[in-house]
Each structure stands twice: as C-alpha cells, then as structure tokens.
Amino acid sequence: MDINSSQNIEIHIPGLEIAAKTWGPEDGKPVLSAHGWLDNAATFDRLAPMLDGLRIVAFDFPGHGRSDHRPPGVTYHFIDWVPIFFDVADALGWQTFSLMCHSMGAAAASLAAGTYPERIERMVLIDGLGPWASPASEAPGQLRKALDERKVLSEKSSRVFNSPEDAVNTVSEVHGLSPANAKLLVDRGLEQLDDGQWRFTYDLFLRGASNLRLTEEQVLAFFGEIECPSLLIRPRSGWPTDAAHMQRRIDAIATLEVFEVEGGHHVHLENPERIVDAVGEFLNPH
C-alpha cells in the first residue's frame, strides 16, 4: 500500500461527525488508530500503508483535523476521549478490535482498554502510556486554572498564516518534523479563510487545561483491568518522562511488552521503517 491508497470517510457518532482515514482491505483485522494532541489522522500516513492484513481506521478526535468541534460552551475533558473509541467502533460495526495509537491517543487508548477489556484484542501504544495524573489535593487548583484559561481562550482568535508553507514551517520547527511530514499534518488540519489567509482547523479550546485530572492511583486501576496483549513503543528521544514513574506504569499492565527504538516522539511518522516489523508482527501475528 501507499499513502494514496487511503480513503477518507465520515463516521456519525452521537452528536458529532468524525472524520477518518482508512487503509487496507475491508475484511482485514480491525484496528482503530488515534493521534496525539493537536495532531490528526494523517500522523499515520507513513506507517499505516506499510502494514499488511489490517483494516486500519485512523480518526480525528473531536475538535481536531476534519472532525466536528464540540458545541460552544462544551469543554474538552481528557476522560471524554475514551468513549470516542467505542462510539466509532460501534458505528463501524466492530464488536472487538485492536488499537494502534500515538501520544494523547495512546494515553486515552490505555484507559479504553481498561474500561472494556473484552472488546480490545491487541494494543500498540506509541510514546504514550496513560494520561497526566495529579494528587487529589491539586484538584481545586486544577479546576481554577482550567476555568481561567477557558475565559482567556474565549477572547482569543486562532493564529493565521499567509500561506500553507508558513504553517508547514511552524509545525516542522515546533514538533521537530521534516517539512515533508509536517506537510502531511498541515494538509489535513488547515483551512483557508475568506480573506485568503490560513488557519488550523483545531478547536482553540483544546489548548486549555483539563478541568480535572485522574490521580495516579486511578490510572493504575485502569491499567490493572487491561487484558489484551499490549506493546509500548518507546523512542529513546521521545516525550520526556520520569523513569521510575514510567516503570511503575509499565509494571501495572500484566500483558505489556516494551520495544525501545532510536527516534523521537513522532518516530512512527519520521522513521516508520524502524517500528513497522515490530508493530506488524504484533497486530497480525502469524
């Protein structure tokens, strides 16, 4: 397969239209893929075409890419990403399926696998293992911060660019991506305004703090419910984490194996050849 072999589809879930890309035969093993924060489904444009025997559906989370934004006044809570997996799977008619997700999508996927473990067959997490957690004592301050930021964001407008090339250069610099790979994300997540300028399609409210975070004990409780074989892709130059904290999370998932690889946070986009064999053999074992 190649990038051009993908198809764009719309998936109706309660209250929202979800945009997605698909690869592979319709009778392939079903795999849902979810992207990272402020990214979109194009993050899998390099890796997905290299995987055989799978029916991959990579969706844009609400407020991202080409999917609907949540209605005005409805905020984005991290825990609300979890039902999206099951709403999308239900719309596709998938009772059971595997997951291949990156960053924020991987963090949400690990909670999904602990919520309905009987529905998840296998799971690949690319540089993401559970959400940020906070002690219960920090909850009041977290909510205050979220409300303050929501007010500030309600008075802001999205940044505009004179050309798509300017947006590509920004994404390339901020995320450490090659211009060619940055362009994949930008092409799916940019729109032209009436005045000829350009802006990202993501909902500006996504930049605000979460109203509430889970505690670490709650995160580990979800991990303790995971039953499916799981694979964590850990790029050596990926998202910085505390080693001891990450090891506790790894140890909490009985079925988890770890694959370390040279690369950065977007290794699946920048260097998919480094992980394709491990991911392909894991999701479609022979």
Nearest to 119 by CA among 152, 89, 155, 161: 89
3-state helix, strand and coil shares in percent for the chain, rounded to the nearest 5: 40, 25, 35
Give the sheet arrangement for strand 7-13, strand by strand: 7-13, 16-23, 54-59, 29-34, 97-102, 120-126, 230-237, 256-264
Nearest to 215 by CA among 91, 115, 132: 132
Tokens in use for 30?
A: 């079903």
Helix 179-188 to helix 164-175 angle (10° resolution) is 120
Question: DSSP string spanning 77-106?
Answer: -GGGHHHHHHHHHHHHT-SSEEEEEETHHH
Cα–Cα–Cα angle for 96, 217, 235, nearest 5°?
65
Nearest to 69 by CA among 205, 161, 208: 205
The CA distance from 113 to 125, in Å, is 11
- Enzyme catalytic residues: 103
